[in-house]
Amino acid sequence: MISEIHSAKQSSRLPSVYRYGMLVMCIALLGKWLLWFHGLPAGYPHEKFGLGVVAIMLMLNHLAFQFSLRGPIAKIAQGVAICSMLFSLFYISYSGVRL
């Protein structure tokens, strides 16, 4: 039974082209945001951090759930990814609210 589950897990793993390609896309998105952020004028009145928050969240989720990490490191990485997803949801939901 356990060997069947393990073999099913291995067969459902995505090809490395997708895993590394998506990682490159996340890093490129983060780099694009950094370039944009450093080019903003000092008094920019609109929201500045949304794209950076989303890029970091995507990268952490991709690293935690698409790469084969073992043992407690996998659980820690998944916990950090889930926390970043919740923080991103909270940040995006309330970033436009002015109190």
pLDDT of residue 95: 78
pLDDT of residue 96: 67
pLDDT of residue 74: 92
Q: Give the distance from CA 7 to its chain's centroid.
A: 27
Q: Give the distance from CA 11 to its chain's centroid.
A: 24
pLDDT of residue 92: 87
pLDDT of residue 86: 95
pLDDT of residue 98: 57
Ordered per-residue pLDDT tens for the chain, 99 residues: 555 555 555 555 667 888 899 999 999 999 999 999 999 898 888 888 888 999 999 999 999 998 888 899 999 999 999 999 999 999 988 876 654
pLDDT of residue 69: 85
Q: Give how far Cα 80 sits from Cα of 1, 48, 50, 58, 75, Å.
A: 31, 23, 19, 12, 9
